Homo-oligomer: A and B are copies of this chain.
Amino acid sequence: MLFKVEMVVNIPLDADPAVMDAIKKQEKEYSQNLQKSGKWRHIWRVAGQYANVSIFDVESNEELHNLLLALPLYPYMEMKVEALCRHPSSIREDDR
């Protein structure tokens, strides 16, 4: 089941760069593990923004919630979630 998730990251100006670097490293690892598992299907950077557009493929709303809340950068993020489904015009087998 697919969801578009748009994440905007807001790092406070006075955040400790070393702490943030450690969190970002964990975030990358966490994201790549979910990508490998197929749960995090796509991730793109929004040009000019510290933000991404992602597509998740999960079993349920609960699974999506748990994956997102566990993001290391979650406390610094604003999130928009939108439920998607297969488009009747789609010809790609994996866009479902």
**Could you list which residues of chain A lie within 8 angstroms of chain B, going by C-beta atoms?**
1-5, 11-13, 27-28, 31-32, 35-36, 42-50, 52-53, 55, 60-62, 64-65, 68-69, 75-76, 79, 81-92, 95
B81 adjacent to A47 (CB under 8 Å): yes
Q: Given A1-B60, A13-B75, A13-B76, A45–B87 Cβ distance below 8 Å?
A: yes
B44 adjacent to A64 (CB under 8 Å): no
6 tightest A-B CB contacts, nearest first? A47-B83, A44-B84, A48-B81, A62-B85, A61-B83, A61-B85
B46 adjacent to A82 (CB under 8 Å): yes
Q: Which residues of B contact A61 (CB under 8 A)?
A: 1-3, 47, 83-85
Q: Given A4-B53, A13-B75, A65-B47, A42–B85 Cβ distance below 8 Å?
A: no
